[in-house]
Structure 1
């Protein structure tokens, strides 16, 4: 899971740079926050699975499904918080970065 999180973080940085170049500082921050709304919950989910695997030497489906449910909730709450609290949000940059980061794991499929 760590390579996926690292790839998602790299995609966040790249999308933020492109959005900042196109839309200025609000675009940069919007893309950065949109990417982090995906990276942070995925990183916490990966950490939770890693800890569960280390403690019990196997991960039950319950740990996975509860973690996935919490991840989706944290993602939705983070997106809501960005749109609600960041006044200069560029919605296009936010959504574009979120989608690119969400699908960036595909890069790892073509690595081998």
Structure 2
């Protein structure tokens, strides 16, 4: 899980760099905020799963589904807060950064494990 979250952070940084080159600072900040709206809830979800697996009797499907619900609620909340609080928001950059972070795990599918 840590590899996925770190890969999402790197993809978010790359999306921010591309957005900065294409649209300037507001686009870069929007892309990074969009990526963080995906990365932060995923990191919290991974931490919650890691903690529940290492406690006896704590891992269950209910733990997973409650964590997933919290992750989705946090993502929606972060996106809403970003739209409400950041007044120079560049919507294409925000959505682009979010999608890049969300789908960055696909890169791990193409890596060969040794």
TM, length-normalised to structure 1: 0.97
CA–CA distance in structure 2, aligned partners of residues 108 and 2 of structure 1 = 12
How far does residue 56 in structure 1 lie from its aligned partner after superposition?
2.0
SS in 2 for 1:55: coil
Q: Give 1:90's aligned residue.
A: 90
CA–CA distance in structure 1, aligned partners of residues 18 and 56 of structure 2 = 43
- Post-superposition CA distance 1:5-42 (Å, at most 9, x none): 01100000000011011100000100010000000000
Q: Give 2:109's aligned residue.
A: 109
TM, length-normalised to structure 2: 0.96
CA–CA distance in structure 2, aligned partners of residues 59 and 32 of structure 1 = 33
CA–CA distance in structure 2, aligned partners of residues 2 and 61 of structure 1 = 21
Aligned pair count?
Answer: 112
Q: Give 1:66's aligned residue.
A: 66
Greater per-residue helix proportion: 1
CA–CA distance in structure 2, aligned partners of residues 21 and 81 of structure 1 = 25
Q: Give 1:22's aligned residue.
A: 22
Q: Give 1:80's aligned residue.
A: 80
Structure 2 residue 27 is matched with structure 1 residue 32: no
| Unaligned 5+ runs, structure 2 | none
Aligned Cα RMSD in Å?
A: 1.0
